[in-house]
């Protein structure tokens, strides 16, 4: 990856960082009703030699804790031993939402649609502005950590705008089993950071409100891979056993109200027409079977077993090709590795049964 440092001062959140220094900085971004400062905690570890600045952010959605867990695990292991460049870790960006276990800001805005922010804008726009100006602009690379939204889980996947060369380099360095090639919405941190010249990717993994052990492993591996690829810390990057890249994905939606019995789990390969879930009535009568519209990989799923018509059930990623060997690896028949363990973990988040087991005995319907 190219050396991009030197054009940027090693100043983070307004604080000049000396070579070899490790620091905790509290960046004031707002105030509470009582007038107390609301501050974003920022951990900085600088190497003795100059080099790139890598920024890792989490909990821009305040209830998405897996990213915080990933950063925690990195810090828990002790100093990174940064040899060159600077690592900036921000475990919680949306400190308001984090305190109230809420995805959003107190003004109900989505912080991840407010970047690069406005100095004199709304509450959320101001927080976004301060963070973007003081922290994001000082970085050369950005990894932003997310989970699925409430009631959903995602098989760990990196989302990246792959036609942007810097972003592609970063996605390659991170090393994920599943990469979704997408631009990202306007106002999202990764889109706006990239526009401002800071290549950015996100990891979408797991559910909100949890720290999931295998997601932590995936995230730590990815962040360390980036630092190792850039030569900032010792050690060789660890490549995933396989990688699937997709541009297309589709949601399978409920047709009628009822209770779902799932037949697939996140990360599982599916064929066109393969049963995804059986929708049964409250009295356990089969109503219909939802099937995958295409061959692909289960990217995400609802974790709520109750559905109304039109509600999303399963997010299927559709790769242009899914070679047979890859399919076998994905199906876990060939020693699953980390991805296999993620799948086992996630299968416990929902009740997954074989299709045959679901069929209830025929009952005579009483009117
Ligand atoms: Zn998020």
Distances (CA, A) of 315 to 33, 154, 270, 364: 40, 9, 11, 35
pLDDT of residue 320: 77
Same domain, residue pair 49 and 143: yes
**pLDDT tens per residue, the chain (367 residues)?**
655 544 455 789 999 999 999 999 999 999 999 999 999 999 999 999 999 999 999 999 999 999 999 999 999 998 999 999 999 999 999 999 999 999 999 999 999 999 999 999 999 999 999 999 999 999 999 999 999 999 999 999 999 999 999 999 999 999 999 999 999 999 999 999 999 999 999 999 999 999 999 999 999 999 999 999 999 999 999 998 888 899 999 999 999 999 999 999 898 889 999 999 999 999 999 999 999 999 999 999 999 999 999 999 999 999 877 666 667 766 665 546 888 888 877 776 666 777 765 455 445 545 5
Place of tokens 């109200």: 257
User: Which of 201, 229, 257 corresponds to the end of one domain?
Assistant: 229
Q: Token match 């109750």: residue? A: 306
How many domains would you assign to the chain? Answer: 2
CA of 184 to the centre of ligand 1 (A): 12
Ligand 1 centroid, distance to 260 Cα (angstroms): 25
| Alpha carbon of 196 to ligand 1 centroid (Å) | 21
User: Which residues lie across from 278 on neighbouring strands?
Assistant: 261, 289
Distance from Cα 148 to the centre of ligand 1, integer Å: 6
- Considering the domain architecture, whether residues 47 and 122 belong to the same structural domain is answered as yes
Residues 90 and 195 in one domain: yes
Domain membership of residue 322 as a residue range: 246-358
Compute the distance from residue 59 Cα to the ligand 1 centre, in Å: 7
Domain membership flag for residue 47: yes
Helix (H, G, I), strand (E, B) or coil at 136: helix
Does one domain contain both 54 and 123?
yes
Going from the Cα of 4 to the center of ligand 1, the distance in angstroms, rounded, reads: 28
Q: In angstroms, how far is CA 157 from the centroid of its own chain? A: 7
- CA neighbor of 71 nearest in space, from 251, 215, 258: 215
Interval between CA 264 and ligand 1 midpoint (Å):
24
Residue 292 lies in a domain: yes
Same domain, residue pair 194 and 132: yes
Q: Put the strands of the sheet holding 286-291 in their side by side order.
A: 286-291, 275-280, 258-262, 306-307
Residues 210-242, buried b or exposed e (16+ Cβ, 10 A)? bbbebbbbbbbbbbbbbbbbbbbbeeebeebee
CB-proximal residues (5 Å) to ion ligand 1: 61, 64, 146
Cα of 92 to ligand 1 centre, how many Å? 12
Rounded CA separation 103/110 (Å): 8
Residues 285 and 342 in one domain: yes
Q: Measured in angstroms, how far is the CA atom of residue 109 from the centroid of ligand 1? A: 13
CA of 79 to the centre of ligand 1 (A): 27
Quote the strand ranges of the chain, DSSP E: 11-12, 15-16, 22-31, 37-46, 49-58, 84-90, 141-146, 152-160, 178-181, 200-206, 244-253, 258-262, 269-270, 275-280, 286-291, 296-302, 306-307, 312-319
Distance 185 CA to ligand 1 centre (A): 12
The CA 289 to ligand 1 mean position distance, Å, reads 30
Please tell me the distance from the alpha carbon of residue 158 to that of residue 174, in angstroms, as a whole number: 8
Same domain, 220 and 339: no
What is this structure's pTM?
A: 0.91
* CA dist list (Å): 230 to 2, 183, 213: 8, 24, 26
Ligand 1 center–CA 146 separation, angstroms: 4
Are residues 78 and 161 located together in one domain of the fold? Answer: yes
């Amino acid at each position: 990856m190219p050396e991009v440092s030197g054009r940027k001062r090693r100043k983070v959140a307004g604080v000049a960082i000396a070579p070899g220094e490790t620091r905790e900085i509290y960046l004031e971004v707002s105030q509470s009703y009582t007038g107390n400062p609301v501050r974003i905690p920022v951990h900085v570890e600088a190497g003795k030699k100059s080099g790139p600045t890598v920024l890792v952010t989490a909990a821009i959605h305040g209830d998405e804790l897996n990213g915080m867990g990933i950063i925690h695990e990195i810090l828990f292991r002790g100093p990174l031993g940064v040899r060159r460049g600077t690592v900036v870790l921000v475990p919680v960006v949306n400190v308001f939402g984090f305190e109230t276990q809420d995805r959003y800001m107190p003004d109900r805005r989505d912080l991840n649609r407010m970047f690069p922010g406005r100095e004199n804008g709304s509450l959320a726009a101001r927080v976004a502005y301060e963070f973007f100006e003081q922290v994001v602009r000082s970085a050369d690379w950005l990894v932003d950590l997310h989970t699925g939204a409430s009631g959903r889980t995602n098989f760990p996947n990196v989302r990246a705008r792959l036609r942007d060369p810097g972003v592609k380099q970063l996605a390659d360095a991170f090393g994920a089993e599943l990469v979704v090639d997408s631009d990202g919405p306007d106002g999202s941190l990764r889109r706006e950071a990239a526009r401002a010249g800071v290549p950015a990717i996100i990891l979408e993994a797991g559910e909100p409100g949890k720290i999931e052990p295998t997601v932590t492993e995936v995230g730590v591996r990815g962040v360390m891979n980036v630092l190792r690829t850039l030569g900032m810390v010792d050690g060789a990057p660890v490549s995933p056993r396989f990688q699937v890249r997709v541009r297309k994905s589709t949601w399978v939606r409920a047709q009628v109200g009822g209770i779902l019995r799932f037949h697939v789990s996140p990360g599982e390969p599916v064929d066109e027409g393969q049963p995804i879930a059986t929708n049964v009535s409250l009295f356990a009568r089969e109503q219909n079977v939802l099937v995958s519209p295409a061959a692909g990989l289960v990217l995400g799923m609802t974790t709520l077993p109750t559905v109304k018509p039109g509600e999303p059930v399963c997010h299927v990623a559709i790769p242009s090709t899914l070679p047979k060997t890859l399919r076998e690896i994905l199906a876990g028949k060939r020693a699953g590795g980390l991805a296999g363990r993620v799948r086992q973990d996630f299968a416990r988040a929902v009740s997954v049964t074989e299709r045959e087991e679901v069929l209830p005995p025929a009952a005579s319907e009483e009117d």
